[in-house]
Amino acid sequence: MSENLHGNVPDSFPVALLIIDMINDLEFPNGEKLLPAALEAAQNIAKLKCEARRLNIPVVYVNDNFGRWRSDFNEVVDHCLRDGVRGKPLAELLRPDPEDYFVLKPKHSAFYMTTLDTLLEHLKAKRLIVTGISADVCVLLSASDAYMREYDLHVPADCVATDAPTHTQTALAYVRRVLNADTTPSDQLDLQELCRVVLAS
């Protein structure tokens, strides 16, 4: 089995950044209510992604297919950028780069019936930084599945969102208490030190 997935480097790193459902049209009930918090999270995720790319941390977009079983990720991105949808500002902030990875998911968890397990195995990831929406549904269920797979977890508190602050805080409290996740906000997260610690372990 090839150690290299696509010919670009790096294809192996012990830390990976997951961006869950942020390429999103938000055209659903409560989408308008979710938008302000999602936009704030997107701004923070964009900064975190920039720092991750500087340190060669792989960035993996994990996204709903919105029930479009013939779609691909580029089609989802184009839809969010060009069809006048509510979530366009999110896609503009977090437009994927050619070197980013992507996984389309049919259900809530990033791991359920997707290729994410295989991708993370190839990347040799040990620690995941989990970001996105919604903190109390897709982020929480993805983090739970990651925990069962024995990944160390970071869920930066300022990089997730729901449609209500109380829902976000409840989800963050759960991942701290049950999943042993670090919820240090992204502006206090030293990615370079984190990589050094993981590489030394």
pLDDT tens sequence across 38-87 = 999 999 999 999 999 999 999 999 998 765 555 678 888 998 999 999 99
Q: Which among 191, 198, 166, 157 has a CA at the least distance from the CA of 44?
A: 157
| Whole-number Å distance between alpha carbons of 122 and 134 | 27
Q: Evaluate if pTM is beyond 0.85.
A: yes
Residues 6+ apart with CB under 8 A from 49: 17, 19, 59, 94
Residue 173, pLDDT score: 98
Only one residue has tokens 């989800």, namely 171
d(Cα 22, Cα 94) in Å, to the nearest integer? 8
**Assigned CATH class of 15-200:** alpha beta
Helix ranges (DSSP H) in the chain: 31-54, 73-82, 88-93, 116-123, 138-148, 165-177, 191-200
Q: What percent of the chain has pLDDT over 70?
A: 92
User: What is the distance between the alpha carbons of residues 89 and 177, in angstroms, rounded to a whole number?
Assistant: 33
Would you list the domain boundaries of the chain? 15-200
The confidence score (pLDDT) of residue 65 equals 73
Mean of pLDDT over the chain: 91
Residue with tokens 């780069």: 97
Mean pLDDT, residues 155-159: 98
pLDDT at 76 (0 to 100):
87
- From the number of C-beta atoms within 10 Å of its C-beta (0-12, 13-18, 19+), residue 11 rates as middle
Strand partners, 104: 63
